[in-house]
Amino acid sequence: MTNLAPSQSTPPSAQTPAALGAINAELPGADAVDPNATALKELLATYLKPADIDNVAAAYAMACVAHEGQTRNSGDAYITHPLAVATILAKWHLDPQALIAALLHDVVEDTPTTKTDIAKKFGKAVAELVDGVSKLDKLQFATLEEAQAENFRKMLLAMARDVRVILIKLADRLHNMRTLDAVPQAKQERVARETLEIYSPIANRLGLNAVYYEFEDLGLKYLHPHRFSVLEKAVKKARGNRREVVGKILDSIKARLKEFNVDATVTGREKFLSSIYKKMAEKQISFSEVLDIYGFRIIVKDLASCYVALGALHTLYKPFPGKFKDYVAIPKANGYQSLHTTLFGPYGTPVELQIRTADMHKIAEAGVASHWLYKTVDAQNENGTQLSDIHQRTHQWLQSLLELQSESGDALEFLEHIKVDLFPDEVYAFSPKGKIHSLRKGATALDFAYAIHSDVGNRAVAASIDDTNVPLSTRLKNGDRVEIVTDPTGRPNPAWLNYATTGRARSQIRHYLKTTQQAESVELGELLLIQAVGSLNFDPNDIGKTHWNRLFKGDSAKSKEQVLSEIGLGKRLAIVAARKLFAVSDLVSPEHRQRDSITIRGTEDLAVQFAPCCRPIPGDPIIGQVKGGQGLVIHTHDCPAIHPYKFDPEKWIDVQWDPSIDRLFKVDIRVTVSDGRGVLARLAAEIAATDSNISYVNMEDQMAESENRYTTVGFTLEVRHRLHLASLMRQLRHMPEVVRMSRVKSGSAKDQQRH
């Protein structure tokens, strides 16, 4: 939590039961501390019961005593801050527990008051809310980024259990941003940047539009103060110049709606400075070129009137093509609903319109908080009725945070996944059954697969968009109908991280790869260790608990699985581990015997890799290199990469192909052909006829001395084994156009082209 901490502190006064017991609906000493306390009391009276107001007043009294003697950087009494936070929440009509937690949200962090003290006085629920927005001051972190990420993770997980945590935190951050003038410039920039990166997108995600835009404006003010000042003055000047035009448009809209018998409230609104600034930056235009600094909002009585009003206004001014968005039929993920349209107004001025009902307007302004009135929540809980659509969407998103937490390795990775999903732009795609899935802009078919279910994503092999087969990397557009093709043997590929864009997809892929790599590296490590132990003339079956304890002594590893995994990943040598297990000195070691070969089945995936420099295939003589962080890398015997280490037994492992291996392997060939129409197509047809796949092609023109033109084509093919490749090359040699052909072992076809 980033608070404006007290600038000075004196020991708080003793908190006596008599002092608390004397509290009634009045807020004690309110006017002496902050006249806003009276405003809060009046605000609470509009929707809380007297008994609930008494409890809030008691919390105020506790906060006053706890923060006595503390001031903010501005010099104001510190109690003014929690009071302001509670007032913001009261405007959203949050329940008494949230208001009490808001008043006490800093007492655990900045005063001797404990979570237990709060629980005894106001209950466990309030104590948990306070804890959810408190800092992790007692923990030590290596970097500021790690501390902020861990703090943010704690807050989001608390929010997943109770969304009021983030509502309190957003109100807390909003007041801090409003009073940011009192802190040094460096802190202003840090807090503003953090707000724009994290809290502003969360406010937008929860539908708190008013908070979102205020965050955006205040962030711009403190990150770019000069630009903000210049833009603010320009808008004030334009406000006077364009007043007549705005008034004319407003009158015309009201008159046209009246003609169509639409009962509506019409208001003009000035666009936020941050919105104007973003438009200027994105389109590289000056302020004088931004014509649409004003928009108009039409509030109607019911859903049908939204579309009637839209039709009426399209007869008043011509609409901009492609500028109409129907968020009523397809609401945004945060529950926002409105019809958006842009019209050609008088003098060529663009007129932006938002048309919505009163209920839609309430959600647009306050989002999930608009449904958090405590009486409504209690009634829902008691009667077992379903939550509103916005609550359901919010609940689904919050539950996804718990899934990301369980799959993310650390707080920084978790924060990365969350940031990905907080981008405001969205794309809407449909399943074959018509279900709408909301994804971030730029999402791919692979992201759609993971949005359906993690198992669908993990087994995805292809996709179909509007009945057209496409790769999983295809980016989605609004309205796409997407069907995912799965295979029981399918599994995530590390390359997927290059085009998976949503936090859920990236988290699931990483989780699967980590889990799979761990299991496979342990299996490979065990094979390597057995081979090393055998080479020392010991029986691997003799390894017992005593041997492992001997290895663990003075070692960083604490478990057998960790040792085996590190051997499999090449992070430690198997022969060194074997010597430690049997207490064999490097200087005095038994006579080595020939190590048994490790059989390569071709299904080891992440634990065993096939070197791209020589692309070994079954039938090639092979040797394995244990490489740190990569596991076992397989090369051909004649690969140029192995010569510097060919006789180092510690780095190279004897391996052999499993006779029953059954999968496709990539291999590179180069074919020189006489140039002519359709030659490449005939080559591809011959390759396909041999049951081989082409995964990559590159071409290079050459001119021979006889002035005959030749073309050299590099293919990366997928074959089953060496005999399959020999048969394929024999088939190609029968083509009259083929001049010469060879297998490439000094780099892949892609590498040849690149270099």
Query: Catalytic site residues?
Result: 109-110
* Residue 207 contacts residue 390 (beta carbons within 8 Å): yes
* Residue 334 DSSP one-character state: T
CA–CA distances in Å: residue 683 to residues 64, 112, 676, 753 = 84, 80, 12, 19
Q: Which residues contact 103 (CB under 8 A, 6 or more apart)?
A: 56, 59, 60, 62, 63, 82, 83, 85, 86
Chain centroid to CA 309: 38
68 — phi, psi (to 5°)?
-60, 130
Q: Which amino acid is at 352?
A: E
Amino acid of residue 199: Y
One-letter amino acid at 545 equals K
Give the CA count within 13 Å in the CB-facing half-sphere of 17: 2
Bridge partners, residue 438, by sequence: 428
User: In this structure, what token pair is assigned to residue 281?
Assistant: 């930056």
* CA 121/CA 99 separation, integer angstroms: 14
Whether residue 721 contacts residue 746, with contact meaning beta carbons closer than 8 Å, is answered with no
How far apart CA 523 and CA 539 sit, in angstroms, is 18
Determine the Cα–Cα distance for residues 477 and 468; give it in Å rounded to an integer: 14
* Structure tokens belonging to residue 628: 């740190």
C-alpha 633: how far from its chain's center? 33
DSSP conformation letters of 695-722:
EEEEEEEEE-TTS-EEEEEEEEEEESSH
- Number of helical H runs and strand E runs in the chain: 31, 19
The angle formed by the CA atoms of residues 660, 663 and 669, to the nearest 5 degrees, is 115
Four-residue CA torsion sign, 272, 277, 282, 288: positive
| CB proximity list for 438: less than 8 A, separation 6 or greater | 332, 333, 426, 427, 428
Q: Which amino acid is at 1?
A: M
Residue type, 520: E
Q: Quick count: other Cβ atoms within 10 Å of Cβ 124?
A: 11
Distance CA 118, CA 747 (A): 68
Sign of the Cα pseudo-torsion (282, 285, 286, 290, in order): negative
Residue 149 is encoded by which pair of tokens? Answer: 């990420």
Is-contact 118 108, C-beta < 8 A?
A: yes
Angle at 679 between CA 677 and CA 685, to 5 degrees: 130
Residues paired with residue 427 on neighbouring β-strands, in sequence order:
439
CB atoms within 10 A of CB 589: 15
